[in-house]
Amino acid sequence: MNDRLTVYIDFKSPYAYLAIEPTRLLAKQLDLDIDWLPFVLDIPSYLGSAKLDASGEVAQQARSDNQWSKVKYAYYDCRRYANLRGMTIRGTVKIWDTNLVAMGMLWAKQQGDEILARYIDGGYGPFWKRELDVESLPVLEKVLAEAGATVSGFANFCNGDGADQNRQLQAKTFDQGIFGVPTYVLGNEVFFGREHLPRIRWQCQGAMGVSPDIAYELMPDDVVENSGVRTLDVGIATADAESCVAIPRIIALAEELDLIVNWYALERSGPRQEPDTEGDSRGARHRRYRSKNRERDQLRYMRKVVESGDTARMTAELLAENDIHLDEGHIAPAWAGMAEMSGYVGSPVFRVGDETFVGRQHLPLIRARFG
């Protein structure tokens, strides 16, 4: 097998950082060619902006409470997986312009895959320790040199052909509907997020048998601490297909590991309120692409539920068949601060001890937390 997988990354995305090693492992296992390409996120257009002062306090910000909650959960989520691998993810002091580091990727690519890999490694780790200024040409020249790249001509490249190549790449990529990182392109299919690596593996191996669900697969060297509890709290949004398809998997996990499961109804049980996608602004287009991505994923992983036209009914029937009764009042008090978040970050929501997970992609780690 020698398929080609295109992977878009941005140094300022912790999710892309966490995807590097699992993607490389998959490529090694399946003899995949990886085409690493830069995609520069325009975070303020859809998630607002903020800047910290020297003491780490917010000095400037243009974010709603909703956007702040998304950002806080993203760091919370990424750090738990970084901790498994001994990686460091510190919140950035500002939203960095990564166009220069993207041009560094294009420059390194011209000099070979090994140099590009060393450039990516030499930049990502220090950046997330707040030790790398990705807007500094001399700093990036040093990273390139340490990766074994020829540096002579890089400055001119950034002011000429490199800038043009990057500008064209960013415009073309965004116009194709790619809005975030990591994004994988296999043939004509687009996958946003490393949770799709099981599906990508399945397709590369011939798509035989039942297709796997989304999952943040654990790495061989991950060190997982046992939670020390035997109770799993689960929050279900009855109108979400994502919750509906997760129920059988949760039941199977609980039976296998002999867990006590407390089932709760998330406060948002009505139809999902889609964000404003009107207009041609960068933010509106981003939200439009994200909405289409969710629709695409639903058809991949939960077609039967979506095409039924009545997710709430299917969820209710599934709960009734398994004699599951939801606490309709509110989700557990211990989830304070996460309850509101769950309505827009996703569902279902899990609680293991004092740790909160949003989405069924976390089930491998949840399983491991129970030993």
Tens-place pLDDT, residues 280-289: 899 999 999 9
- 276 pLDDT band, cuts 50/70/90, is low
Return the pLDDT at 158.
98
| CA distances (Å), origin 278, targets 63, 66, 178, 274, 284 | 20, 20, 18, 11, 6
Q: Which residues contact 41 (CB under 8 A, 6 or more apart)?
A: 10, 12, 13, 98, 180, 181
Whether pLDDT at 178 is above 60? yes
Tell me the mean pLDDT in the region 353-370: 96
Rounded CA-CA distance 237/264 in Å is 9
Greatest Cα pair distance, the chain, in angstroms, is 69
- For a pLDDT cut of 70, what percent of the chain falls above it? 92
pTM of the model: 0.93
Beta strand 231-236 with 260-265: parallel, antiparallel or unpaired? parallel
Q: CA 151, CA 108: separation in Å to the nearest integer?
A: 9
Phi first, then psi, for residue 198 (nearest 5°) are -60, -40
- pLDDT > 50? residue 333: no
What is the Cα–Cα distance from 300 to 360, expressed in whole angstroms? Answer: 15
Q: Give the separation between CA 305 and CA 315, rounded to whole angstroms.
A: 9
